[in-house]
Homo-oligomer: A and B are copies of this chain.
Amino acid sequence: MGEFELIRQYFMPLVRLHGSHGVVVGPGDDCAVQRVPSGFDLVFSIDTLVEGVHFPINYRPDYLAWRALAVAASDLAAMGADPSCFTLALTLPEVNETWLRDFARGLGEAAESFGLALAGGDTTRGPLTLSLQVHGLVESGGAICRSGARPGDLVVVSGPLGDAGAALDYLVADGSSESQRASIDEQCVLERYHHPQPRLKLGSALRHFATAAIDISDGLLADLNHILEASAVGANIERARVPVSPALARLKGDTAIEYALHSGDDYELCATIAQARWASAPPSLKQQLTVIGVIESAPGLRLGGTDVMSGSGIVGFDHFRGKA
């Protein structure tokens, strides 16, 4: 069996979700074809993950696949888009059948879980790199952008923050994606790194409430600052309100909050919501969110009233400084 044949064999089962996702021509032709229903906009984002930069060297292929699709799908959640399909450009140093089988299994589990059908892709030889483009749909004009935050809006976040950042510490120190030697708390935060959950249903629900949203990939402060800049507003955040998991609190003590403020990789959402809308939001929505601060007209990002801008901007993740 040729190498391309092998790849086709492992990825073709992921195509089964097609019909229900508007994909009318799937992998195997020059292009894929998607039918976008009348009255809807196509929402899309491309993300690249490079071995040794965005994930550890020799990272487990099933975890890698899940993480890669989750990272991409999280951008759909931030726009309030409902997931439809994705393309995968996979660059491999060699074709290793075991690796490929595990990768395809992880990708299939993620695709099923997130409701994304594999529509097409490209496989090439080179240093291990993945580029994924995800496609979603929103009612025309309904996408949540970064630019809609207004003074007085509440700043909310989903889930506890910082777990995945603490997991990276462990992975870098341990040099392995296995966790046999990890404590229960370490296993908790590792799971959040290995299997991030893009907040797709929450994002979809936020479409009717949020004035702006972003997914937290680079750290809460850095990502919230993107909303502030795009909306030409400022914000004040109460440090004590930022949600931290019990596991992270036990592992990191007083520095847990620093992980929650500065580390990304959890792929939770940060959104802004007008106070009147928040008051009328259903409990099912409120239960998934924590109010951590308020949008203000004065530019800049403040923690308990103290400016956290430095000359070079918010401390956060810069891909060109490298990581993992």
Seen from chain A, the residues whose Cβ lies within 8 Å of a Cβ on chain B are 2-4, 24-25, 28-36, 38, 41-54, 75-76, 78-79, 81, 87-89, 91, 95, 119-127, 129, 131, 133, 136, 138, 140-141, 143, 145-147, 213-215, 230, 312-313, 318-320, 322
Contact = CB atoms under 8 A, between A and B. Distances in A.
A30 B89 contact: no
A50 B129 CA distance: 10
Contacts of A215: 30
A297 to B, nearest CB: 22
A143 B42 contact: no
Given A30-B146, A31-B143, A126-B127, 5 more contacts: A4-B319, A34-B44, A36-B41, A46-B122, A91-B129
A320 B95 contact: yes
19 contacts: A3-B318, A4-B319, A29-B147, A29-B230, A30-B78, A30-B214, A31-B81, A32-B43, A33-B41, A33-B43, A35-B41, A35-B140, A47-B89, A48-B122, A48-B131, A52-B126, A53-B125, A87-B133, A123-B319
Contact of A46 (B29, B38, B131): B131
Contacts of A141: 24
A91 B131 CA distance: 10
A91 B122 CA distance: 16
Nearest to A50: B126
Most buried by B among A120, A126, A319: A126
Given A2-B318, A46-B89, A146 B230 contact: no
Most buried by B among A47, A119, A131, A214: A131
Contacts of A81: 31
Contacts of A34: 41-42, 44
Nearest to A54: B124
